[in-house]
């Protein structure tokens, strides 16, 4: 089993739709979780951190489920500008200072 797994998609959704991505991780000792956004082979940029209590930033909501070992990202009212690849990131696996990225989920928002 991969350390961090994501459905690569693509997810093609109409403007205004709500879309959700999940990301599972295998190491229960993982400590930090993030969602990054990457546009077409450019550098990844932080979208949001994922806290145990969940967090929301405008149209974006991230949640962590430690019992089932997954994190989720919900995008409401999708915009054309949301089209990108969304990467989940798990840090500090088992006490090591490593960082593991998921393969990324490609989202295409269509008019």
Partner 1 sequence: EAQVTQNPRYLITVTGKKLTVTCSQNMNHEYMSWYRQDPGLGLRQIYYSMNVEVTDKGDVPEGYKVSRKEKRNFPLILESPSPNQTSLYFCASSLGAGFEQYFGPGTRLTVT
Least distance in Å: CB of 98 to partner 1?
Answer: 6
Nearer to partner 1 by Cβ, of 40 and 111: the residue is 40
Dihedral pair phi/psi, residue 93, rounded to 5°: -70, 120
Among 23, 104, 107, 109, binds partner 1 (CB under 8 A): 104
Residue whose CB is less far from partner 1, 37 or 75: 37
Own/partner pairs, 38-45, CB within 8 angstroms, 24+ separation: 38/84, 38/85, 38/86, 38/87, 38/104, 39/84, 39/85, 40/84, 44/87, 44/101
Interface positions, 42-101, toward partner 1 (CB under 8 A)? 42-46, 49, 87, 89, 91-92, 96-101
All residues at 6 or more sequence positions from 72 whose CB lies less than 8 Å from its CB, including other chains: 20, 21, 22, 23, 62, 63, 65
Nearer to partner 1, 25 or 102 (CB): 102
Using CB under 8 A as the criterion, which residues of the chain lie in contact with partner 1 when the complex forms? 31-32, 34, 41-46, 49, 87, 89, 91-92, 96-104
């Amino acid at each position: 089993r991969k350390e961090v797994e994501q459905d690569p998609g693509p997810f093609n959704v109409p403007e205004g739709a709500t879309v959700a991505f999940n990301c599972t991780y295998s190491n229960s000792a993982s400590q930090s979780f993030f969602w990054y956004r990457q546009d077409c082979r450019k550098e990844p940029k932080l979208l949001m951190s994922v806290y145990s209590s969940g967090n929301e930033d405008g149209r974006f909501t991230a949640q962590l489920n430690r019992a089932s070992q997954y994190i989720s990202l919900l995008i409401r009212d999708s915009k054309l500008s949301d089209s990108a690849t969304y990467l989940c990131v798990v840090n500090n696996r088992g006490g090591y200072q490593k960082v593991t990225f998921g393969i990324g989920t490609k989202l295409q928002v269509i008019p």
